[in-house]
Amino acid sequence: MKEARCPFLETKTVTFCKAYPSKMIPVDRMSSSEGLCNTCNYEECALYSEVSGVEGMENVRGFRLHPEYHYHPKHLWVALSSGEEDEARIGIDDFSARLIGRVDRASVPAVGVAVKENSVCFLLHSGRRTVRLVSPADGVIKSVNPKLTADPSILNDDPYSEGWIFSLRLKRDAVKGLYHENVARKWFESEVERLQRVFSSDLGMTATDGGVALTDISSRLNDAQWGKIVSQFLG
């Protein structure tokens, strides 16, 4: 005898939201970003970014990564100028921006100053906290982003584009040892995993909120904790 089917039972294939594991999204809604998420913070959602390709950035466990840049181990990027391999813009990556916190002042070397890779050459200030950052390559300062003086927080809002810090006239083969493309992705992912381990084992905390990387990680840390994290990853 055929078993009667419950009239109230409905079968639907769903995918789990990475941000909120209890949230399930029907697969048929994944074909379009319209209506994909019903929260007001969808643009900060890692899942939304992966599906919709927001800003043309790659999403690495909730952190943004520009796929075309070269990266220094201290979370700085180098963007070569089109057609001029000896010139490049320098900035901090999304990982740095979230660790540092809201930048309210920047101390940058003057035009014409020579800088050396791995030597401290500029400072970023967030309230009473200050981060000493190195140059990602050898070169001479060619220009400084004029927008930094007017609004230093641009480094947080748009670290990969409008938030560049200064440009360099590079020495020969200056980017040869930096991470790029697949190597950069793997390194970046390993750094996110390392950050999670440090938060969990050393601080007994999490660097995520509901599965998504915090926009301002520094807000969760006291001065001593913040100094320790910054020293490990950016120092």
Report pLDDT digits (tens) over 59-109. Answer: 888 899 999 999 999 999 999 987 666 899 999 999 999 999 999 999 999
Q: CB–CB of 35/41 below 8 Å?
A: no
Q: Which residues contact 166 (CB under 8 A, 6 or more apart)?
A: 89, 90, 108, 109, 122, 141, 142, 143, 144, 145
Per-residue pLDDT tens over the stretch 138-187: 999 999 999 998 999 999 999 999 999 999 999 878 888 999 999 999 99
Alpha-carbon span 166 to 90, nearest angstrom: 6
What's the DSSP call for residue 9?
-
Query: What is the C-alpha separation between 14 and 51, in angstroms, rounded?
Result: 15
Closest Cα to residue 131, out of 95, 158, 157, 107? 107
